[in-house]
A = this chain, B = another copy of it.
Amino acid sequence: MMNYSLNHVPKRTAKPRESGLTMVMDKGLSIREVEDMLSISAPHIDIVKLGWATSFVTPNLKDKVKVYQDAGIPIYFGGTLFEAFVARDQFEDYLRVLDQYKLEHAEVSDGSIEIPSDEKCEYIRRLATRAKVLSEVGSKDAEKIFAPYKWIEMMQSELDAGAWKVIGEAREGGNVGLFRSSGEVRQGLVDEIIHAIPAEKIIWEAPQKSQQVYFVKLVGTNVNLGNIAPNEVIPLETIRIGLRGDTFANFLPEKTKKRFKLGKYSGDKRITQDE
């Protein structure tokens, strides 16, 4: 995979991964654009989400799904679609959609509607019998802010109900849930979650570069990250292994850091300005 040899490059996990996942958000790629993305990024993509309910208005959806499946890249439909079915009392129809497209992954979320926790867990339990469930915690509503213990409680009970991974909500634009409206990370919240839930069970939505850098510095090379834009997969891969400016010093030996005055980058969570 690597085109030339560099020392001190941290090791990435190999596919199929449980940690170090990159989840891509496809919000309306054409079939040829999917092929383009896979031709350059497939080795670095673990799973793709067809964003929210974009699948509803996508022509040739069957063909598009097939391109991903033929390439061995699992896909799933965004949580908003699940919610759209639930809000219309059409959950049984949703199950048929999963069958129809032979989807092996499904998202459960309550970002747009309110679902009582035990009801949400019941959906997870039912879906878990036929698919790997990604369960999203956190609201799309900028005004609904949960305390850390509440996030952890929700994540834990959703994992107990059978969720394969829990997802920390950020929305596509990256400013709700885990993030302040400025795009800044709610650090206290993240620290508490990390302390309580195994890293490999969480996918952090991190559409913006500064967020990706933040989580790589905090959790490490093989952190699970989601909502990555198609043309940001290659850039993210370099961030993970310390080959972009922002994480350049993170995986170098102390001696090197000292010699090139890189010390201050290593221990802290400093992010260089870039976006």
Q: Are A176 and B272 in contact (CB under 8 A)?
A: yes
Q: Are A112 and B40 in contact (CB under 8 A)?
A: no
Q: Are B273 and A57 in contact (CB under 8 A)?
A: no
Q: Of B58, B60, B114, which is within 8 A of A260 by CB?
A: B114
Known: A4-B93, A28-B231, A272-B176. Is A40-B56 also a contact (CB below 8 A)?
no
Q: Are A262 and B113 in contact (CB under 8 A)?
A: yes
Q: Which of A41-78 contact B (CB under 8 A)?
A: 41-44, 51-61
Q: Are B2 and A57 in contact (CB under 8 A)?
A: yes
Q: Is A129 an interface residue (CB 8 A)?
A: no
Q: Which residues of B contact A42 (CB under 8 A)?
A: 59
Q: Which of A157-165, A185-193, A198-206, A238-246 is the interface stretch?
A: A238-246
Expressed in whole angstroms, the minimum distance between the Cβ of A233 and any Cβ of chain B is 7
- Chain A 23-43, CB-CB to B under 8 Å as 1, else 0, gives 000011111110111011111
Expressed in whole angstroms, the minimum distance between the Cβ of A265 and any Cβ of chain B is 8
Q: Is A142 an interface residue (CB 8 A)?
A: yes
Q: State A43–B2 Cα separation when bound (angstroms).
A: 32
Q: Which of A196-247 contact B (CB under 8 A)?
A: 209, 231-235, 237-238, 241, 243-245
Which of A43, A142, A234, A262 counts the most B-chain CB atoms under 10 A from its CB?
A: A234
Q: Are A111 and B245 in contact (CB under 8 A)?
A: yes
Q: Is A140 an interface residue (CB 8 A)?
A: yes
Known: A88-B256, A140-B245. Is A235-B3 also a contact (CB below 8 A)?
no
Q: Are A261 and B181 in contact (CB under 8 A)?
A: no
Report the interface size for chain A: residues with CB under 8 A from the other chain: 84
Q: Is A8 an interface residue (CB 8 A)?
A: yes
Q: Are A248 and B32 in contact (CB under 8 A)?
A: no
Question: Closest residue to A113 on the B side, CB-wise?
Answer: B260
Residues of chain A whose beta carbon lies under 8 Å from any beta carbon of chain B = 1-8, 27-33, 35-37, 39-44, 51-61, 80-81, 83-85, 87-88, 90, 93, 96-97, 100, 111-115, 140-142, 171-173, 175-176, 181, 209, 231-235, 237-238, 241, 243-245, 248-249, 252, 256, 260-262, 272-275
Q: List 8 A-B contacts (CB under 8 A).
A: A4-B100, A6-B85, A28-B231, A31-B40, A32-B35, A51-B235, A112-B245, A171-B272
Q: A33-B36, A53-B238, A171-B245 are in contact. List 14 more A-B contacts (CB 8 A).
A: A2-B56, A5-B93, A6-B90, A28-B234, A29-B40, A30-B40, A32-B32, A39-B59, A40-B59, A53-B244, A57-B243, A84-B248, A112-B249, A175-B275
